[in-house]
Amino acid sequence: MIPTSQAPCGSRPRKAVGLTGVLILAACASTPPAPTANLQAAQRAISTAEGAEAGRYAPAELSEARTRLASADAAIREQRMITAERFADESRVEAELASAKTADLKARAVNDEMTRSNDTLIDEMQRNSGDRP
């Protein structure tokens, strides 16, 4: 006779498989790691934009980049890593936009100054030669 306190022979492997499944599900459900590389990229992009004087030429974009980075930090504190990663990426993109807009506006200012200088030189040359357009 089989004593009533022992489990049937196939019960232990089933329990082991069940426990393994639960552990795998728990591992999948755990919080992903903090998006450190994304945060660092966003911080570097903001520093680059600040160095390029984006605060003067593209203040709205630079401010938005800082706001998104702060949102990423808050999401990390709340253990929302996927959201934090998205905010960090958005921060980096906003900072890069601020840098690009700054470069564009600076280039336009140089171009405008060169146009004015050329116009002045043309006027001077015409005045000296006696020609008038």
| CA-closest candidate to residue 65, choices 99, 101, 95, 102 | 95
At a CB cut-off of 8 Å and minimum separation 6, what does 106 contact?
A: 53, 57
Mean pLDDT of the chain: 86
Q: What is the pTM of this model?
A: 0.69
In this prediction, residue 26 has a pLDDT band, given cuts at 50, 70 and 90, of low
State the number of CA atoms in the 13 A half-sphere of 32 facing the CB: 9
Tens digits of residue pLDDT in 90-125: 999 999 999 999 999 999 999 989 999 998 888 888
Q: What is the CATH number of domain 32-129?
A: 1.20.1270
Residue type, 5: S
Q: What ranges do the domains of the chain cover?
A: 32-129
Tens digits of residue pLDDT in 36-83: 999 999 999 999 999 999 999 999 999 999 999 999 999 999 999 999
C-alpha 120/C-alpha 77 separation (Å) is 59
Mean pLDDT of 23-35: 71
